[in-house]
Structure 1
């Protein structure tokens, strides 16, 4: 299943790698998505993750490069993607 085409709200996200070492391994449920960020609930706190510096997986899927999905969620869902 290609999670790029699906809504990510209330799905589990895990940061696989990041340019910022403090973001690596962050896990949680996606609460909000904007053009450039994802808000994840990690325990009792909310963490805002910039898409441009992370690679992440949704519900254990294949890793997604955040730079390739820096757009509004409503545009991302309807866009045609050419997978490498």
Structure 2
């Protein structure tokens, strides 16, 4: 998985960390993605869950031993629609 293919992947269950955001309180939030809406990711950390706006953050996803950094604006879409976007996939 790489920055080009990750936006078309299912994000629920992936480990994520917020690496940049205009809201300093969100930088460093890390945990598992437990839910996703058009504009937000719900991240479960040890002390609870945090809702992070996609468009206002840069995320680092941990997939196996790979770290993929994605600008949040690339993830803004309904999850089902985002995973159907045109690209180099054998499923379209």
Following TM superposition, the consecutive aligned residue runs of length 4 or more in structure 1 with deviations greater than 2 angstroms are none
Structure holding more helix per residue: 1
Q: Which moved more, 1:43-52 or 1:60-69?
A: 60-69
Matched residue SS, 1:16 = strand
> 1:47 is matched with which residue?
50
**What TM-score, normalized to structure 1?**
0.88
Q: Is the 8 A contact 2:59 2:72 kept in 1?
A: yes
Partner Cα separation in structure 1 for residue 79 and residue 24 of structure 2: 26
Please list, as runs of the form range in 1=range in 2, the aligned pairs for 1:30-69 lying within 5 A after superposition: 30-59=33-62, 60-69=66-75
Q: Is the 8 A contact 1:37 1:50 kept in 2?
A: yes
Asked which structure has the greater CA Rg, the reply is 2
Aligned positions, number = 81
Q: Is the 8 A contact 2:54 2:76 kept in 1?
A: yes
> Of 22, 35, 60, which residue of structure 2 is paired with 1:19?
22
**What TM-score, normalized to structure 2?**
0.81
RMSD: 1.3
